[in-house]
Chains A and B, each alone.
Chain A
Amino acid sequence: MLVVEKVLAEDILRISGVNTRKCMKCGKCSASCPAFNEMDIHPHQFVSMIERGDIKKLIKSKSIWNCLSCMACVERCPKNVEPAKLIEAVRLAVIRQQGANHLKADKIPALVDERLPQQAIVSAFRKYSK
């Protein structure tokens, strides 16, 4: 594991508050996930990869942009691992870097239509930008 990866892994564990060792690898989180088909790495894999410190692939993963924060994985995990918090922490590790915002304000006008509620824009900025 690279030193940067080690620091990142520690950060991710700390800010998520997740104890990856509670996971019994049942896969229920991924089975519950409504974004499963849009993910290259699935929620249960986040848990084991973060435990191993395998962070580089997670940072590049499209899963961090496709998680819906629906909390199904959190609700249904029999061990209360809360995998969504790990996905959130990886996403934050990316967008907290300078210039690494995933959603930029100049992209918004093209995405907005007459009916889109403010709530959509506010939440997308919270998820994809710092």
Chain B
Amino acid sequence: MLKDYFIYSVRNLKNRGLRSWLTMIGIFIGIAAVVSLIGLGEGLRITVMSQFGFLGPDVLGVQASGLAFAGPPGTGVVEPLSDEIADKIRKVNGVEASFNRYIESVTVEFNDRQEIGISGSVPEGKNRKIFEAMVNLKAEEGRLLKDSDTKKVVLGNNFKDNDDFGKGIRVGDKVQINGIDFEAVGILEKKGSFIFDNVVLMNERTMFDVIGVKKEEVDVVAVKVDNINNVNQVKKNIDKLLRKERDVKEGEENFQVQSPQQTLEALNSTLFAVQLFVYIIAAISLAVGGIGIMNNMYTSVLERTKEIGVMKSIGAKNSAIFTIFFVESGLLGMVGGIIGIILGMIFAFGLSAAGRVFLGSELIQASVSLFLIFGALLFSFTLGTAFGLLPAYQASKLNPVDSLRSVK
């Protein structure tokens, strides 16, 4: 019986053609926004997590930031951290280890092809083990670096099957870094992190002596805290020390002490703000869509008053009339929802594909779960019926004789 009401409802919606479609616009804009947003949001969260998530909560990074007051105005020169800072930080209460890290862009040449890569330094001595544990560094092929290595590199997992060089780099292969011959001694395990999967790791000293990086200009000081519960206190201590060292007032810091967790949270809260904004827009268009459905259904009840009278005269109970209109409004919502889901998915996956093509990165990822799809469908159906409730009730309560007497 419900199936027959269904067929009848579909006929009526088709009969109202353009009006039905117009009614659904609000719904499908709203649902499309929600689906693409949740889809991209989930994907983005997964990406963000994999970029930074492997760093423990007991790690802090210290970086120089802001414009240096010493430089000529407008040149944007940053006053770098000096190489003694790490030693000073190590003496701060609650710090277990601290060491300098250098990051430099280099050219990588292999198989007669050249690419730009990011090289990162590996500290030597006892800090090596701490660094390896900190980022959970493991070789998939070959080995990690030793103190005695010079002109040796360990490469991120993406080099193993990188098409850019025509063929993948294997352990034992010769590569030219900035035109100098190096040997690849190891390939890292896949991390899912854009940074680490593309990194060229070399010993700190190699970086100074062979590449020519200045020892005095540290890019990041990595700090390991001895107790996770003290992270915030340690951060404050380091802030204080650096303000003194760099002679800046509170609020005018030209450096940053950040934990990966904080970075994640900062990213998440930015994401959340954007999401909130789109959700509000989605909610507004869904409300407009819902009111549109209500309006459409009221009009339809008016137009079909006579039909309702006829159906009652041939045995339709109030409940049957109610169901007919109820199903119809639910269908309006659901069809709007289906279109919205499709549009939302096209948008989300389109954007992530565009990211791959134009930015060449996997950073924007869409992930639309089955749960999301069914949730959106159920929601749009419920929305339709919620706004169809009153019109359907009104239709069901119509007096049969009066409805039959109505002209149309």
Co-assembled chains A and B: no
Taking beta carbons and an 8 Å cutoff, which residues of A are in contact with B?
Answer: none
Taking beta carbons and an 8 Å cutoff, which residues of B are in contact with A?
Answer: none
